[in-house]
Structure 1
């Protein structure tokens, strides 16, 4: 029995010994390479806001009386001249009102002629002492009342005549119909906007400013404008007007940007971009791929002198096409991981490399 047990135990021990000899300690994982860059001076970096070229003066046109639209004479986008008819109301009601006022005017004129004759007759009788003074005073009062009634009827007839003219809406000046808000057959009230006219003359750019940055803008602040039709060509401009209240839907504040020169080739409806430079702060720029965000907080991965990663929260400006200005959180000499930040972790050791996959000396500047 003992011999049998040894015959089983010895092969098993030999197998365990051989297995232990075959296992070697795994070498530590090599640090993963990480593309790093340093923040670059962003003197040319500025916040940019998309906008649209509009006319400086955009009056909203409306009828001065209410009624049913019988004719619409222009279309949206059509150029019009000063005093050109734009739309007409059904004139039947205003014509009837004008006829009624003219009839009242005629009645007032006839009444005045009658009381004037009576007054003159009573004046002669009074001179002969054939009537009392009170009878003459009564005739005098009737004459004065008739005269006042004639003036009232004349004014009402003039108003009715004006309202007949108000049935035709005319352009106050030359320009382009930028918006139409009426159709034939529609009943409109007095003062209801029918057309919006983009008047000829100065052109401006309308943009929306975010409420978290609204405090840094002021009327008269210099900016620059780039038109979509003129890429890489910026025109000097300034903020002419800031809205005191935010738009209830977009929560942005409207701003109107005026060109410093009338030579800017800006046409109605063109797309534009307004650039606002940063003041009083050294802006640094990073590639867009270097920035990651979590729960609304932007951050980057900084490589320390031991080649370990540190997560650093940053405050950013407006995003550009391929870079973003960093307003707070970084120093010019920091080394930042340029891509792949979503797979990194705090304290992880990396091997910094440049875009040519060469090792980077963190003690040297890029």
Structure 2
């Protein structure tokens, strides 16, 4: 009996030893990647902005009333003195008629009093009162004529209508914006500067402007910082600035998106990568570089500068290499990943 039990135990042990351990299957982790290829250029910062006219005027009626006609729409080119809109002139017309009638009455009264004064029937003070009444009536008639003229909204300069702010049938008050007119000629880019960069910018410093709509054939222009607000916007906590284009042309349309780069004297060569791609090992920065088989390897790099739009890598990678741009602390050397392309902009 003991011999049988020993034989059975030995058989079970040999069967267990003959089984090989099942290999551990590694799963490929999805990872956002970025293709190195954007030169850092210089250490200036890039800001997105909108093309605006150098001179822009918001126009409104000088009196209140109901808009009965609007002759222009956004994009309409207008001349100086051209009628843009009109409000109901019924009341102002009646006021003008009443003031004109009062003036004519005062004029006739003065004429009769002068004749009576020549004959000695009225005193000089009575004549003086009629003369003053005529002056007052003339002033009222002139005011009524002006009020009647204010029913037409005229353009004070040649330009293009950039926005219409009121519609036909709407009742507007005096001074309420109705039409915005941008003067043709000089153009500029309106940008917002963060608090961290305000000290590095000075009015008059050069800038490079690129129209974002251009794609690979993007148009580039030179400019200068014309205006920098000394006070931050209370909502965004950024400082409004205006960059004047030196060589604008027909390709620069109002409302277009533009990228502005302020240059500095310091030139640093290298490639721009997302800050989230940097893997810090003590004092050494590194990047996870993706191989052809989608495996990753950690490579030390040299960071020349940290900027608002990314980190400037001066050595360690070359253009065209793919790096992991997010989740770098979850990887180990040799891991294979599922590539998610995040584009070529940090």
Task: For 1:198 and 1:10, locate their aligned partners in 2 and report how far apart those are by CA, in whole Å.
Answer: 102
Relative to structure 1, is the Cα distance of residues 201 and 43 closer, same or farther in structure 2, using a 3 angstrom cutoff? closer
SS at match of 1:193: coil
**Residue 197 of structure 1, CA deviation:** 0.7
Task: For 1:265 and 1:345, locate their aligned partners in 2 and report how far apart those are by CA, in whole Å.
Answer: 47
Matching residue of 1:129: none
**Residue 70 of structure 1, CA deviation:** 1.5
**Residue 196 of structure 1, CA deviation:** 0.6
Matching residue of 1:159: 143
Q: Which TM-score applies when normalising by structure 2?
A: 0.70
**Residue 214 of structure 1, CA deviation:** 3.8
Please say if residues 98 and 160 of structure 1, whose CA atoms lie closer than 8 Å, have aligned partners that are also in contact: yes
The gaps in structure 1 that reach 5 residues or longer are: 30-34, 126-135, 294-298, 353-366
**Residue 149 of structure 1, CA deviation:** 2.1
Q: Which TM-score applies when normalising by structure 1?
A: 0.66
The gaps in structure 2 that reach 5 residues or longer are: 27-32, 289-296, 336-346
Matching residue of 1:69: 67
1:209 to 189, 193, 202: 193
Relative to structure 1, is the Cα distance of residues 286 and 186 closer, same or farther in structure 2, using a 3 angstrom cutoff? closer
Relative to structure 1, is the Cα distance of residues 39 and 142 closer, same or farther in structure 2, using a 3 angstrom cutoff? same
Relative to structure 1, is the Cα distance of residues 115 and 300 closer, same or farther in structure 2, using a 3 angstrom cutoff? farther
Q: How does 1:38-117 map to 2 (within 5 A)?
A: 42-44=40-42, 46-117=44-115
Task: For 1:61 and 1:340, locate their aligned partners in 2 and report how far apart those are by CA, in whole Å.
Answer: 49
Please say if residues 274 and 325 of structure 2, whose CA atoms lie closer than 8 Å, have aligned partners that are also in contact: no
Please say if residues 211 and 246 of structure 1, whose CA atoms lie closer than 8 Å, have aligned partners that are also in contact: no
- Name whichever of 13-22 and 171-180 sits farther off: 13-22
Matching residue of 1:342: 327
**Residue 79 of structure 1, CA deviation:** 1.2
2:5 to 8, 32, 41: 8
Task: For 2:129 and 2:137, locate their aligned partners in 1 and report how far apart those are by CA, in whole Å.
Answer: 12
Relative to structure 1, is the Cα distance of residues 145 and 60 closer, same or farther in structure 2, using a 3 angstrom cutoff? same
Please say if residues 300 and 341 of structure 1, whose CA atoms lie closer than 8 Å, have aligned partners that are also in contact: no
Task: For 2:52 and 2:324, locate their aligned partners in 1 and report how far apart those are by CA, in whole Å.
Answer: 41
